[in-house]
Amino acid sequence: MRYAMVIDTLKCVGCSDCVVACQTENDVPIGYCRDWITETVNGAYPNIELELKSERCNHCENAPCVRCCPTGASHIIDGGIVLVTADECIGCGACIESCPYDARFQHPDGYVDKCTFCHHRLEKGQLPACVSVCPTKCMYFGDLDNPNSEVSQLLKNRKHKTLAPEAGTNPHVFYLI
Amino acid sequence: MQEELFTSGRNIPNIDPSLNIWHWPISVYLFLGGLAAGLLFFAGLVTLLNKEKDYPTTVKYASLVSPIALTLGLLALFYDLTHKFYFWRLYTTIRLESPMSWGAWVLLIITPLSFLWVFSYYSEVFTKWPLKYDFLKNLERFLSKNRKYIAMALVPLSIVLGIYTGILLSAFNARPLWNNAILGPLFLTSGLSTGAATIILLTKNAKEKHLFSKIDLVLIIIELGLIVHMIMGMYAGSQVQLEAMELLVGGEFTLMFFGFVVLLGLLIPAILELTEIIGYKIPVAIPAILILIGGLVFRFVMVEAGQITRYLY
């Protein structure tokens, strides 16, 4: 089992519904967020291209945050999901420094927080909150190890990219382009 | 030409617009840790070479600074934690991949050792306040007899402590300025140099002053070489590393780095120490204090500038 998220940048309209859904589902404190939208403009006028992306923790296979965590609070569970155990986190900030995606933040209670791929929902057979609310259905979620899953098929048939591949982290969030 | 900007959703204090998770306590700790490492290294080395009588300040008085520096450094580290009362979790596991983990373990060993070291010289240093209790006297006697063994532990541990303050930063591949292998040796050299400067500052023994001026001069030259290597290596690197170096060379940290660290903290003290070694009378406090300030500013520059550098956005 290797969970992955595939996001179609051609369908995303940047409505931020995923952000609000995540904040509601995960009780994210006001002023913080575990996912966010970026708007990238490429090129020079008049030949410009707009790309909208919903970004979050990439649940890297080679996760620098897990490597540098001094207590083992950051860890990878079955399915390749990177989680933080609040009771083991000392709030040193090493994982925040180590993340090329700046996906982590210090929760007002002190420990480090970030996207969990809504693993509490996955256990119940539901999709992550962000995926389930997307009005343009640009987000897909599934198992990379299953060649017939929706995400495997999309990655097989569509051109895609990951963020900062040069960081060598092997992310599990893919963007269709 | 590429332009990228945020529109919505992302509003994380301390991360946007630039990461600022590690504040002044980390810089102060890196400085104090390096200083303590330098002092303990020299104290241990002099003892192992049986030269305690020739260099009394190194083993007796300057080493007094190290437990104080380590205690203040640890307090600074503790202050910077945001989930403070779980700090003991550091000591429920050993994670070899995490420099912070083995740094925490080294600190757990070297801090009490530095206290024991200072205590082993108690009656010689604090002549006005003799020990009152027998068990303390016995402890001091036991420690001063076994000082060699403490020194054997201190020398390697202090080197690990000094290198760790640099490796701590260089292990983060997400921050291109930190992500270079020279940072470990560079911080170690800088720590040893600040240690030597403290000894020069405190000693009244001419022979000791002379020797440590020489040692410090060599360390400064090595440090300058390592800094040149760091800049060259980054300029030979990828786009993110080039951008990282531009912060120090021509960017917002240029004055701090070249003015306070390289010129005032290394070049001028080196020239002053050289003239002192040649035989001119120079108040050695000047180069020593400049080196200490330069070392502290160096930690601040590296911690602050490193957090601005990143892969995305």
Predicted local confidence at residue B1, as pLDDT: 47
Model confidence at B282, pLDDT cuts 50, 70, 90, reads: confident
Report chain B's C-alpha Rg in angstroms.
21
Q: Quick one: average pLDDT of B77-106?
A: 91
* Mutation site for B-interface testing, chosen from A16, A24, A68 by largest number of B Cβ within 10 Å: A68
Question: Does pLDDT of A32 surpass 70?
Answer: yes
Predicted local confidence at residue B3, as pLDDT: 58
CB contact under 8 A, A32 and B174: no
Question: Does pLDDT of B9 surpass 60?
Answer: no
* Per-residue pLDDT tens over the stretch A68-99: 999 999 999 999 999 999 999 999 999 999 99
Chain B hits for A29, CB-CB cut-off 8 Å, are: none
Nearest Cα residue in chain A from B18: A102
The verdict on whether omega for the bond into residue B67 sits within 30 degrees of 0, i.e. cis, is no
Q: Where are the beta strands (DSSP E) in chain A?
A: 3-8, 36-44, 47-55, 74-77, 81-84, 105-106, 112-113, 139-143, 160-161, 173-176
Chain A hits for B312, CB-CB cut-off 8 Å, are: 100-102, 163-164
CATH number of the domain to which A105 belongs: 3.30.70.20
Q: Quick one: average pLDDT of A158-172?
A: 91
Give the number of C-alpha atoms closer than 13 A to the C-alpha of residue B121, restricted to the C-beta side: 22
Mean of the per-residue pLDDT values for chain A?
A: 92
Predicted local confidence at residue B18, as pLDDT: 78
* Per-residue pLDDT tens over the stretch B238-266: 888 898 999 999 889 999 999 999 999 99
The pLDDT > 70 percentage for chain B reads 96
Question: Does pLDDT of B7 surpass 70?
Answer: no
ipTM of the complex: 0.88
Question: Does pLDDT of B8 surpass 70?
Answer: no
CB contact under 8 A, B174 and A91: no
* Mutation site for B-interface testing, chosen from A52, A62, A71 by largest number of B Cβ within 10 Å: A71
Which of B16, B83, B103 has the CB atom closest to A110's CB atom? B83
Question: Does pLDDT of A174 surpass 60?
Answer: yes
* B24-308 belongs to CATH 1.20.1630.10: yes
* Mutation site for B-interface testing, chosen from A15, A75, A97 by largest number of B Cβ within 10 Å: A97
Domain positions in chain B:
24-308
- Locate tokens 């700790």: which residue? B29
* Per-residue pLDDT tens over the stretch B218-244: 999 999 999 999 999 999 988 888 989
* Per-residue pLDDT tens over the stretch A133-146: 999 999 999 999 99
Query: Into how many domains does chain A fold?
Result: 1
CB B40 within 8 A of CB B117: yes
Question: Does pLDDT of B20 surpass 80?
Answer: yes
- The three-state DSSP-derived secondary structure of chain B is CEEEEEEECCCCCCCCCCCCCCCHHHHHHHHHHHHHHHHHHHHHHHHHCCCCCCCHHHHHHHHHHHHHHHHHHHHHHHHHCCCHHHHHHHHHCCCCCCHHHHHHHHHHHHHHHHHHHHHHCHHHHCCCCCCCCHHHHHHHHHHHHCHHHHHHHHHHHHHHHHHHHHHHHHCCCCCCCCCCCCHHHHHHHHHHHHHHHHHHHHCCCHHHHHHHHHHHHHHHHHHHHHHHHHHHHHHCCCHHHHHHHHHHCCCCCHHHHHHHHHHHHHHHHHHHHHHHHHCCCCCCHHHHHHHHHHHHHHHHHHHHHHHHCCCCC
* Per-residue pLDDT tens over the stretch A42-65: 777 788 888 899 999 999 999 999
* Per-residue pLDDT tens over the stretch B28-47: 999 999 999 999 999 999 99
Predicted local confidence at residue B6, as pLDDT: 52
Q: Quick one: average pLDDT of A117-134?
A: 94
By residue range, what is the domain housing residue A35?
3-176
CB A163 within 8 A of CB A55: yes
Model confidence at B5, pLDDT cuts 50, 70, 90, reads: low
* Per-residue pLDDT tens over the stretch B144-203: 899 999 999 999 999 999 999 999 999 888 899 998 889 999 999 999 999 999 999 999
